[in-house]
Amino acid sequence: MSRLQPRSFSSSVPSRANELLSEFHHHLGSGTLWPELARQLFDQMLRQPVPVSVRALNGLFAALARAPPSTACTNAPALVIDLFNRMAQAGRRQVTAPTIYTYSILIECCHRACRPDLGLAFFGRLLQTGITTDVITYSSLLKCLCDMKRTEEALGVLLHRMPNDLPNVISYSVILKSFCDSGRSHLALDLLRMMAEKGSDHSPSVVSYSVVIDGFFKEGEISKACDLFHEMMQQGVVPDVVMYTSIINALCKARAMDKAEVVLRSMVHNGVQLA
């Protein structure tokens, strides 16, 4: 027998924890992952002497975070929160240690499961661990604050609490959307102006403009929306298919068919970037 054989044999045999992980994914994919089954498989996974890699664990959580509601599992993001708590309660037993990715997925799940309060609590716990935060985790935190109608506070976090240079155009768009969703598109416009002044990484993107333009339309501020659209193009930001769809739809609803036709023709004439 080759001396290499035992080694290659052992590395080719999946650990019991990995087998359970595969089973988990299988049930998720075939729509048979009832929460009780998920908890059983996960608890069994935690009891294995060889834990799964943190990357595999994050992959599992990320898949659950994205899972649409099904008969078996109506709220997969809530299940992620549950499973994370079980892992945390496993105490000193050797289990997979969470990383910034784990926390990022977890806090996003709090937002999706309509438990923004838990998102804030988990973020506090993340800070205590000493793990370095990143801009993506902050985006989910900002969403949780906005869910709780604390948009101004979220803006304060973005402007004053986030480490220097961490905020980017996506962080801002979370706040822009929240102002618009609460009927305060004028505040979103102020913020958009601030972004433009800051420049570089913070310069408004087609998404930033799209959020505020759509906000104005939804508030019935047709001319403000159109003005901003023209201003955007003067700035050299190119509209994409999402923005055209939003504008044409809004103009039609506002019975401004002539304007809608102008926008449609310019879209056809100039070509359109797919989002």
Q: Give residues in contact with DNA (CB under 7 A).
A: 54-55, 58-59, 62, 65-66, 99-101, 104-105, 108, 134-137, 139-140, 143, 168-174, 177, 205-208, 210-211, 214, 239-243, 245-246, 249, 275
> How far from chain centre, in Å, is Cα 155?
17
To the nearest whole angstrom, how small is the minimum distance from the Cβ of residue 71 to DNA?
20
- The letter for the amino acid at 113 is A
To the nearest whole angstrom, how small is the minimum distance from the Cβ of residue 237 to DNA?
9
- The letter for the amino acid at 243 is M
To the nearest whole angstrom, how small is the minimum distance from the Cβ of residue 5 to DNA?
30
Q: 157 and 182 in contact (C-beta within 8 Å)?
A: no
Nearer to DNA, 134 or 153 (CB): 134
Nearer to DNA, 90 or 162 (CB): 162
Nearer to DNA, 46 or 247 (CB): 247
Nearer to DNA, 37 or 196 (CB): 196
CA 24, 136, 171, 121: dihedral to nearest 10 degrees? 80
To the nearest whole angstrom, how small is the minimum distance from the Cβ of residue 176 to DNA?
8
**What separation in angstroms does the CA of 221 have from each of 99, 215, 234, 255?**
45, 9, 20, 13
User: What residue spans of 201-240 are helical by DSSP H?
Assistant: 206-218, 222-234
d(CA 26, CA 60): 11
d(CA 219, CA 238): 24
To the nearest whole angstrom, how small is the minimum distance from the Cβ of residue 40 to DNA?
23
Nearer to DNA, 37 or 242 (CB): 242
